[in-house]
Amino acid sequence: MKKILFVILIAGIAGFYGCCPKEKKLAQGEKQLIEKKELKLKSDIMTPEVLWSFGRISEVVVSPDHSTLLYGVTYYDIPQNKGNRELYTMSIDGKNKKKITETPSSEYSALWRPDGKKIGFLYPASGTMQIWEMNPDGRNRTQISNSDGDITGFKYSPDGKKILYTKEVSVDKKVKDIYSDLPLASGRIITDMMYRHWDSWVDTYTHIFIADYDGNKISNDIDILKDEPYESPLKPFGGLEQINWSPDSKTVAYTCRKKKGKEYAISTNSDIYLYDLASKKATNLTEGMMGYDVAPTYSPDGKKIAWQSMERDGYESDKNRLFIYDLGTKAKTDFTKNFDQNVDSYEWSKDSKSIYFISDWHATDEIYQLTIIDNKISKLTQGVHDYTSVTEAGDKLIATMVSMSNPAEIYSVDPKTGKETELSFENKDLMNQLSFGKVSSRWIKTTDNKQMLVWVIYPPHFDSTKSYPTLLYCEGGPQSTVSQFWSYRWNFQMMAANGYIIVAPNRRGLPGFGQAWNEEISGDYGGQNMKDYLTAIDVMCKEKYVNKNELGCVGASYGGFSVYWLAGHHNKRFKAFIAHDGMFNLESQYLETEEMWFVNWDLGGPYWDKNNKIAQRSYENSPHKFVQNWDTPILVVHSELDYRIPVTQGMQAFDAAIMRNVPAEFLYFPDENHWVLKPQNGILWQRTFFAWLDKWLKK
């Protein structure tokens, strides 16, 4: 949740450049944007427009004295097709809530200065994103940086004398550098792989700059990756959690994958580097550790460094372990060796004796505590929800939490009892006007006699004496859990509000059920996980309130692949399909995608390796090889800027359906990536989604 959020925020920055607040007053439309939360509904049933009216809380930061919370809230204006993010503060007990900004552009990456006397944040100035500061009450806004490019993130040094920040730099030569007499030439000369990534062409690299700071301005900045064709943090999901100061302000620990081209495309091997400000040299802390090593964080006493680590190179869904390095003894220890779960969103306790983190188990994300002295891991919370961040504040924990029935809000959590108390209530007025469907869980026996957790979401005002059209939801990833997430596109309560029951299985290949369950999907895309899908919907069809003659199947990414595959194997179970950004032709996907480590691991390797039985099994199960069995209406959704699963995959699927005389529709977005982030596009997505389902399932 946290990494995806970073991508969304960075994508949003480009759309909000404008004048500084002294140069422009809020227009009427922008005023409405800020006050959108006061919307009065005509019905208690959620609509796409209502979904886009929720306030989206992000980046909660506790003040140095633990008295005050700083956070941002984004509201979207549908007619203007944009959003705006403002900053708020409130006391640690949830009282004294105050909006401290009200500007035409969005404030991002807000932080408390170490002395607590100022708040730093990113805001546009003269066309570029710069660092600003203001008083904690929002007054006296002052620009403190003057970079020649957009600053994408920053952190104060603990002693307050320096600031590190990140921005994009150009290292590789372009056509105009080679041929100065062709300044208008638009061509690219490409000599190696990884020339584009997720949704953008690789023309620049994110570098770390360290600058002096005198309390008013920053100066004398240096690029610690100068002239290197590498990035830190890692794209596309990495944020400033991957770069951190030592408590004495003498060292910066950062994450970097010092590879390029083909070597970068086939490897996940990132490392932790310690950059010494005095010598201006970096030391590789994790040399020889072959998987992802990310998010280095010093203990507050400066004696240890923790980071998240994956063991195997090329496997992006490997177990996320928690390693700690003792700076005195030089020992590296895996503190989660006997913990069969992932570690996410972790933070040291202020006394350096423990680490709080979030981990998924059985499809809910809870807060855990690792005590260092005895290597004991304790689960602190329990419920039907997902915690998405946690930080210590005195004797309490401050956390953000979501569920399938609640957008993100801020909570205080008692670490002794696990009891949570809501603090923010940002969406209370809107939530009080809505009726949501019941969310229940049930364990279903699979074809290989294992137990699978399935979420079932019912329509609002559900009547068990009636029968309802039902949707099988296919999760993406492929290895991302069907937890208690709240989505602004794949929102289960939105589906339920349209009169559908949703069946969401935690099929084979999802985390939260042990590493063995998680790994059972790699190299077996058409195997047990597909049987799990069909088992889930078949068991639910035994319920009288499920209309087995009105079944739909929907999913995105790997879920889109699942839809395409099931379209050729469902034996007339379903009456409608929807596939968003799915893989259709695995042979072309292998050479169209950019992160080659993914297809090498998950598909087993290239399709031309005839001696590789795992790879050949993968390609034999490519959905395009079963199009001859397609007989059910299908809606295909795909976007031009999706370089992870290129738009041609969706075009192939749509064209195949048309050639087969199967009713089909293609929703194409020229300006979206693997997600749909713009308000009007998001609403168009919802309207098209339900118009298609209603057409074929509600006859």
Which residue out of 77, 199, 271, 642 is catalytically annotated?
642
Is 532 strand, coil or helix? Answer: helix
Could you confirm whether 642 is annotated as catalytic? yes
In sequence order, what are the residues at sequence separation of 6 or more whose Cβ sits closer than 8 angstroms to the Cβ of residue 279? Answer: none
Reduced to 3 states (helix: H, G, I; strand: E, B; else coil), residue 572 is coil
C-beta separation of 553 from 495 below 8 A: no
> Distance (Å, rounded) from C-alpha 221 to C-alpha 256?
20
Of residues 390, 329, 318, the one with CA closest to residue 354: 390
Pairing of β 98-99 and β 82-91: antiparallel
* DSSP state for residue 41 in the 8-state scheme: P
Of these residues, 207, 385, 570, 674, which one is catalytic? Answer: 674
What is the C-alpha R_g of the chain? Answer: 25
161 sits in the region (left: phi over 0; alpha: psi -120 to 50; else beta) called: alpha
Tokens found for residue 57:
């809380």
Annotated catalytic residue within 145, 557, 562, 618: 557
Sign of CA dihedral 615, 591, 669, 2: positive
SS (H, E, C) 182-221: CCCCCCCCCCCCCCEECCEECCCEEEEEEEEECCCCEEEE
Q: Which residues pair with 443 in a beta bridge?
A: 453
Give strand ranges (E) for 2-81.
56-62, 68-77
- CA 120 – CA 132 distance, rounded (Å): 6
- Retrieve residue 383's tokens: 């419920």
Nearest residue to 365 (alpha-carbon basis) of 390, 329, 347, 334: 390
Task: Quote the DSSP letter at residue 63.
Answer: -
User: Tokens for 349?
Assistant: 């306790």
DSSP-based three-state secondary structure for 683: helix
Which residue in this structure is represented by tokens 């590493």?
515
Give the distance between the most distant pair of CA atoms in the chain.
Answer: 76
Q: What stretch of H or E contains 540?
A: helix 528-540
With a CB cutoff of 8 Å and minimum separation 6, the contacts of 434 are: 41, 44, 45, 46, 50
Report residue 444 as tokens.
Answer: 């279903």
How far is Cα 73 from Cα 165, in angstroms, rounded to an integer? 23
Which has the closest alpha carbon to 498: 459, 545, 549?
A: 459
How far is the C-alpha of 603 from the C-alpha of 100, rounded, in Å?
50
User: Using CA atoms, how far apart are residues 199 and 643, in angstroms rounded to an integer?
Assistant: 6
Residue 129 and residue 144: Cα distance in Å, rounded? 12
- Name the one residue in this structure whose structure tokens are 């730099």: 169
Nearest CA-CA partner of 438 in 416, 451, 456, 413: 456
Q: What distance in Å separates the CA atoms of residue 197 and residue 594, rounded to the nearest whole number?
A: 6
- CA distance linking residue 452 with residue 527, whole number of Å: 16
Distance separating alpha carbons of residues 162 and 114, to the nearest angstrom:
11
Contact at 8 Å (CB) between 76 and 443?
A: no
Give catalytic residue positions. Answer: 557, 642, 674
